[in-house]
């Protein structure tokens, strides 16, 4: 069994993070923007979100963590499942299960965020995770 090429995990993870950041921006800005704004307005003084610029930095870091994790999963399962798009999609799906689906179920259980926002966000997260890990896997090479 070969060793993981960590420099390629980082490079692929950065590419994956860029893809995730863009897809998340489309989902949460263009698609869910008005729903999020209505929720923020309804929360009133209970909303303690940071300034928009700080929030963007936080989301960039979140995207980087997810991107690195997704490509690392791909690199880890690649010897068993083989290199290629099917393994990348499996890794992206695994990332989505832990990174989007489980938190979405928790949000629904708490009832803190409107269910349709959570469902659309999780669906968008699936698209983002799959595309991001595909892009990162394209960059990843063992040698």
Q: How far is CA 29 from CA 22, 92, 114, in A?
A: 10, 22, 16
Q: Where are the domains of the chain?
A: 6-41+52-139
Using alpha carbons only, give the angle 84, 24, 73 rounded to the nearest 5 degrees: 35
Q: What is the rounded distance in angstroms from the CA atom of residue 17 to the CA atom of residue 7?
A: 15
The position carrying tokens 């669906």 is 123
Strand ranges (DSSP E) for the chain?
A: none
Please list the pLDDT of the chain residue by residue as tens digits (143 residues): 679 999 999 999 999 999 999 999 999 999 999 999 998 899 888 888 888 899 999 999 999 999 999 999 999 999 999 999 999 999 999 999 999 999 999 999 999 899 999 999 999 999 999 999 999 999 999 97
pTM, 2 dp: 0.93
pLDDT for 1 equals 63
pLDDT for 45 equals 86
Q: Which of 143, 12, 124 is closest to 68 using CA atoms?
A: 12
pLDDT for 2 equals 73
């Amino acid at each position: 069994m070969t060793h993981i090429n960590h420099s390629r995990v980082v490079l692929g993870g950065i590419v994956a993070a860029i893809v995730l950041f863009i897809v998340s921006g489309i989902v949460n800005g263009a698609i869910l923007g008005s729903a999020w704004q209505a929720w923020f307005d309804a929360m009133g003084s209970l909303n303690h979100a940071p300034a928009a610029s700080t929030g963007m930095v936080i989301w960039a870091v979140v995207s980087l963590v997810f991107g690195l994790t997704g490509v690392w999963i791909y690199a880890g399962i690649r010897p068993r499942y083989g290199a290629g798009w099917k393994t990348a999609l499996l890794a992206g799906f695994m990332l989505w299960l832990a990174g989007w689906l489980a938190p979405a179920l928790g949000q629904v259980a708490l009832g803190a965020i409107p269910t349709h926002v959570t469902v659309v966000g999780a669906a968008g997260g699936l698209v983002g995770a799959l595309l991001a890990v595909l892009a990162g896997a394209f960059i990843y090479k063992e040698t």
